[in-house]
Chains A and B, each alone.
Chain A
Amino acid sequence: MNEENQSLTDGQNTGLKDAQTSALVAASAIIIFSAFYWFAQIQSVRELLELAYG
């Protein structure tokens, strides 16, 4: 019985670690992509406005 509980807890821990690592990877990718995307968008608008108005 104890062994069963132990293996269940181990399984849950591994599951949590897996879910956390995948979340960390995916969230980092989205945050980094968003930062690049919005920076590029704002930069392109600034450049266009500079071309138009100097």
Chain B
Amino acid sequence: MPTSILGPYFRTIVTVSVIAAALVFSFTYARNGVYVEIQPLFEWMETTWFGYVGKTWGAAFATIQAGHLIGLAVLGGCVLVSDGRLLGVVLTDVPHRIVVDRADAVFRWALATLLVTGVFMACGVAMKIYYLPVYWYKMLGLACGILFHYYVRRPLVAHELGAINPIVLKMTAIASILVWFLVAATGRWIGFSG
């Protein structure tokens, strides 16, 4: 148990703080300051080897995009199976702990694939995505998804399913599906923009 100065509701306090910080950041001028500050990073990304290959070798870029899609498919499968189990829709006759843990083991690899291929793709079109609002929505969704998955969802489902409030459990599963769908949909929309 965390015995910090924040008391027994450490996780809740951190969660509320992160959400509050994200809201303050998104709706104040703090965002504009950071946006300008990180422009050199995106300019640099285009000059890296990844950026060079992505820009000049179309076939490599498209193949990596396909790898990104395959990672997305596997990640989507894991999320739907795992959250579907929490919602009582799929694999209901398999203990939830087994489904959630085993799906998580594959989820990890899929997420790693998505991040690696995503960084490669971002380098190839860094200045394009820098000016695209939908890219930033995707990044916000991705950060939320990763934090939500590892900091909120996993500790919750580590407890006995029967002991967890069913409404909270279902809300967690729905939120998980929604956040990853948002990441996928905004990602697709990057291709149509700019």
A–B contact with Cβ pairs below 8 Å: the answer is yes
From the candidates A12, A16, A19, A30, name the one contacting B148 in the complex (CB within 8 A).
Answer: A30
Decide: A27 and B19 in contact? CB cutoff 8 A: no
From the candidates A15, A22, A34, name the one contacting B1 in the complex (CB within 8 A).
Answer: A15
A28 sits at the interface (CB 8 A): yes
B8 sits at the interface (CB 8 A): yes
B105 sits at the interface (CB 8 A): no
The secondary-structure label for the interface of chain A is helix
Interface size class of A (residues with CB under 8 A): 20 to 34
Chain B residue nearest in CB terms to A16: B159
From the candidates B1, B137, B168, name the one contacting A20 in the complex (CB within 8 A).
Answer: B168
Chain B residue nearest in CB terms to A31: B175
Chain B residues within an 8 Å CB radius of A21: 9, 11-12
8 A Cβ contacts from A8-50 to B? 11-12, 14-31, 34, 37
What are 21 of the A-B contact pairs (CB < 8 Å)?
Answer: A14-B1, A14-B8, A15-B155, A15-B159, A16-B164, A17-B9, A18-B9, A20-B164, A21-B11, A22-B151, A22-B152, A23-B168, A23-B171, A25-B12, A25-B15, A26-B175, A27-B152, A28-B175, A30-B148, A30-B175, A31-B178
Residue positions of B touching A, CB distance < 8 A? 1, 8-12, 14-16, 19, 137, 144, 148, 151-153, 155-156, 158-159, 163-165, 168, 171-172, 174-175, 178-179, 182
Known: A16-B164, A22-B15, A25-B19. 18 other contacts (CB 8 A): A16-B159, A19-B158, A20-B156, A21-B12, A22-B11, A22-B151, A23-B152, A25-B12, A25-B16, A26-B152, A26-B175, A27-B171, A27-B172, A27-B175, A30-B148, A30-B175, A31-B171, A31-B178
